[in-house]
């Protein structure tokens, strides 16, 4: 199954508007990081490597909302760090929902039971719980025993209270096609509304630099996992074009401006994974970044990247620009 119909319709209307306005570069989703602090030390993340003075900072509500308003993006993924450590994360969420944004609040879910009372179910809101495989794999990835069970319990709690719950799973070199199948089957049975998946990317500041997937490894992993029509039975929050890309059925160009990242440091150039400095405003990011220099075959750092943040925007634009692909996405193929 593909991404939810409401999300697809919203993106379709937004893309039509950009076309009418003749805009060439626009965001589909903003990665909003209102803090870098976290309650875990995951091997694949380098956010807590920031200086202690920066780890203590929390982005003001007005700044967070203002950045999203300036960008005009229809969707926002609130990440970090751990967003639930931000004392005003519920207010940031409420104000963005009031402005009609679709919100995904990313969390490792350890603090979710403590803070869930601050939130109310909303058709444009979903918890995005980080699940890196089944119990042993997840606990090793987040470097915390019991982390998997705590996340599962939080998912059940959120579902009981009427929230939409999604998951995000990153796969690395140690993962097999059966691992992909097992975790997606488990999340299906758990009642997760939609799942996102991504191959491990060469994030420069991550403590673990030994388990990133190469392009061929990624294609082989997902081609085998998706074999026999498997992917149709999972509630994956991806376009069919992006899933085709993961398993090597088609290639795509990176669209680095499609999912920009905004944090305490500003708008990150050129994307969430590379750190070539920051712009103070969204307009500065778009107008002064040399976008043509990034992507596979252009920048050696991009050689093995097949991450969602760069290639899903390309896939979405290709899907909604084609009647054939739009129909395929609607029926979940």
Would you state the pLDDT for residue 158?
A: 98
116: DSSP letter: G
Q: Which residues of the chain have pLDDT under 70?
A: 1-3, 43-44, 46, 48, 201-212, 323, 327, 329-333
pLDDT digits (tens, 9 = 90+) for 243-253: 999 999 999 99
Can you give the residue ranges of every domain in the chain? 5-331
d(CA 273, CA 270): 8
pLDDT digits (tens, 9 = 90+) for 119-142: 999 999 999 999 999 999 988 888
Number of H helices, E strands in the chain: 13, 9
Please measure the distance between the N-terminal and C-terminal CA atoms of the chain and give it in whole angstroms: 7
The whole-model pTM stands at 0.92
Would you state the pLDDT for residue 296?
A: 86
Q: What is the dihedral of CA 317, 8, 25, 245, to 10 degrees?
A: -40
Cα angle 260-217-328, degrees, rounded to a multiple of 5? 60
Would you state the pLDDT for residue 209?
A: 47
For residue 206, what are the contacts with CB-CB under 8 A and spacing of at least 6? 43, 44, 45, 46
DSSP bridge partners of 77: 31, 104
For residue 16, what are the contacts with CB-CB under 8 A and spacing of at least 6? none
Fold of 5-331: TIM Barrel (3.20.20)
Which regions of the chain does DSSP assign to beta strands (E)?
29-33, 75-78, 102-107, 125-130, 164-171, 194-199, 261-263, 266-270, 275-279
Would you state the pLDDT for residue 333?
A: 52
């Amino acid at each position: 199954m593909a991404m939810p119909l409401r999300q697809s319709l919203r993106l379709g209307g937004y893309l039509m508007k950009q076309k009418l306005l003749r805009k060439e570069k626009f965001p589909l989703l903003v990665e909003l990081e209102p803090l870098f602090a976290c309650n875990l030390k995951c091997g694949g993340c380098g956010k807590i490597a920031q200086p202690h003075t920066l780890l203590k900072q929390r982005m003001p509500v007005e700044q967070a909302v203002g950045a999203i308003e300036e960008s005009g993006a229809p969707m926002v993924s609130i990440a970090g760090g751990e967003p639930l450590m931000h004392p005003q994360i519920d207010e940031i969420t409420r104000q963005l929902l009031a402005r009609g944004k679709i919100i995904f609040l990313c969390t490792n879910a350890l603090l979710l039971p403590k803070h869930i009372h601050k939130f109310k179910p909303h058709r444009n809101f979903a918890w995005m719980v980080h699940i890196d495989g089944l119990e042993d794999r997840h606990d090793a990835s987040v470097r915390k025993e019991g982390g998997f069970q705590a996340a599962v319990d939080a998912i059940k709690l959120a579902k009981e209270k009427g929230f939409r719950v999604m998951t995000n799973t990153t796969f690395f070199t140690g993962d097999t096609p059966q691992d992909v199948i097992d975790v997606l089957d488990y999340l299906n049975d758990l009642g997760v509304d939609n799942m996102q998946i991504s191959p491990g990317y060469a994030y420069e500041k991550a403590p673990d630099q030994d388990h990133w997937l190469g392009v061929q490894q990624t294609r082989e992993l997902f081609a085998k996992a998706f074999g026999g029509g498997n992917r149709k039975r999972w509630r994956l929050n991806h376009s069919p074009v992006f899933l085709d890309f993961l398993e090597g059925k088609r290639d795509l160009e990176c669209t680095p401006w499609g999912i920009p990242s905004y944090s305490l440091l500003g708008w990150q150039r050129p994307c969430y994974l590379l750190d070539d400095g920051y712009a103070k405003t969204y307009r500065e990011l778009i107008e002064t970044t040399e976008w043509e220099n990034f992507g596979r075959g252009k920048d050696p750092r991009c050689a093995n990247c097949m991450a969602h943040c760069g290639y899903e925007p390309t896939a979405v634009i290709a899907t909604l620009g084609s009647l054939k692909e739009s129909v395929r996405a609607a029926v979940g193929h």
